[in-house]
Structures are given as structure tokens and as C-alpha cells.
Chains A and B, each alone.
Chain A
């Protein structure tokens, strides 16, 4: 049952991803990206990582997609649709991409992936919270510094543009 669900969700994600790169209209590309974000959230949930799934929707669909759309609108390209989605070297790149794909498939099939058989513990989220303040406290605090740095950087750049 679960493999079927995974295939369905993965198909949705891939459709979204393909849509992003082939859409002629930038706004449509952004919407396809939202579709793939939902797909990724679905995959997280099938892996019993519910918190990650819902955080994915909250942050990626709720915040970052909107940021991307605003960025698209900030650059005036959205009104015009792209001429062609392919550039001049598409044949060579296609071959290269297929070779890379074959290489990755061979590689991934050969690795012995360590799979955890047990189900997720019922208090997984509490464990996550505890880990934030126990063993991962330094990355946790650094994350907040990182966020503030991003904030400050964005404000400085935006102010420069205006003046």
C-alpha cells in the first residue's frame, strides 16, 4: 500500500518539477513549484515525519513561494512569456543529463541504504524539541544568528536600491 502512495506522491512532485522548468510563464512556473513542495510534504508524511511535512507546507508554500512570486514581480519579466524554453545547446545538454541520470541510478542502486525498521516514536516531536536544547543547541542558536544576518543583509540591500 505504501509504495503505491509513494509512487503517486512522487509522480505529483515530478510533474511539478517538470512544470517549473518547462512553463513559459514565470508565474505558472512558481505555481508548479508549489505543487512540488506539496509533494515533498506528502513524502515526509509517508515517512512518519509529520512535523517536517507540515513545516514544509508552512515555510515553503506559505512563505518562500510568496517570496519567490514577489521576486518575480519585482523583475518585470512576468508580463512577457519566455520565447522558447530551450536554448541553443539543448541536444548536448540532454545527452549529458541522461548520462548523469544513468550514473546516479547505478550508484543509488549499489549503495546499502541503512533503513530504520522501527516506527517513529510517539513523542517524536518532543524528542526533537529536547534535541534542540540538548545536543544540537549550538546549531540551534547559530540558526537564529543566521536568520538575523539574512534579515539585516536584505534590509541593507533594499535600502541601497532605494537611495
Chain B
């Protein structure tokens, strides 16, 4: 069983190197004529005004946090799903409680407009 991860490790090594080989080939083949205008930041063809910074809305962070919560919930779901067929009915009830609590959390976020994208 573990042996298959050996394949995954080998494959991942190969696959990780491959894009760099591609980029190396491109580096060998392409023209190199850098000049400051080409290398300036693209902004619809205008000159950049001000710092390269954006106002990072707390909204993004909230989405990521809600995602973390539901991601963990989903991970809890999988072992239960695998074992489900050989468990009795109480397994269903307990998972239903789990899911309903989290659904409640989602509902709260919904009411508090945390899911709105401004």
C-alpha cells in the first residue's frame, strides 16, 4: 500500500521538473532584449501612479475563514462516509446533528450579510 506513494513521489518529482525544463527550453530559444519600458508594470497602457498596493478588504479574509470552517467539516465527513454502510442508524443521526449545527453557522453568516460580496 505504501509502495504506491513511492510512485506518487517519483511522479511528483518528474512532474515538478517538467515545467522548469519547458521554461529552460524557452529561455534558450527566445530573444532577450529587455528595456525599462517593456518591464514597467502594465496598467491599461498608462503610467503607474502611486504605490503598488490595494486596499485589501476584510471581506476576502472572511470568505477564507468560512472556507476553512467548512473545509474541516468536509474532512470530518469522509471517514464517516466510508464507514457508513456498516454502521447502524445512529451514525446517520449523529452526522445529521453535526451537519445541522454547521448549517446553522452558515445561516448565521447569511443573515449577518457576511456572504455578500460588495
Chain B proximity of A73: nearest CB distance (Å): 5
Which residues of chain B come closer than 8 Å to A151, judged between CB atoms?
65-66, 69, 105, 108-109
Q: Interface residues of B: mostly helix, strand, loop or mixed? A: helix
Q: Which residue of B lies closest to A154 (CB)?
A: B65
Which residues of chain B come closer than 8 Å to A63, judged between CB atoms?
64, 67-68, 71-72
- The count of A-to-B residue pairs whose CB atoms sit within 8 angstroms is 130
- Residues 43 to 67 of chain B near chain A (Cβ within 8 Å): 51-53, 56, 58, 60-62, 64-67
Q: How many residues of B contact A (CB 8 A)?
A: 45
Is B112 in contact with chain A by the CB < 8 A criterion?
yes
Q: Which residue of B lies closest to A130 (CB)?
A: B83
Which residues of chain A come closer than 8 Å to B112, judged between CB atoms?
155, 159
B58 lies within 8 A of A158 (CB): yes
Chain A proximity of B105: nearest CB distance (Å): 4
What residues make up the interface of A, taking CB atoms closer than 8 Å to B? 45-46, 48, 50-51, 55, 58-59, 62-64, 66-67, 70-71, 73-74, 76, 79, 122, 125-130, 132-133, 137, 140-141, 143-145, 147-148, 150-152, 154-155, 158-159, 161-162
Known: A129-B80, A132-B83. 14 other contacts (CB 8 A): A45-B2, A74-B56, A74-B61, A125-B83, A128-B79, A129-B87, A130-B87, A141-B97, A144-B97, A144-B101, A151-B66, A151-B109, A152-B105, A158-B62
Instruction: Give CA–CA (A154, B66) in the complex, Å.
Output: 9
Is B75 in contact with chain A by the CB < 8 A criterion?
yes
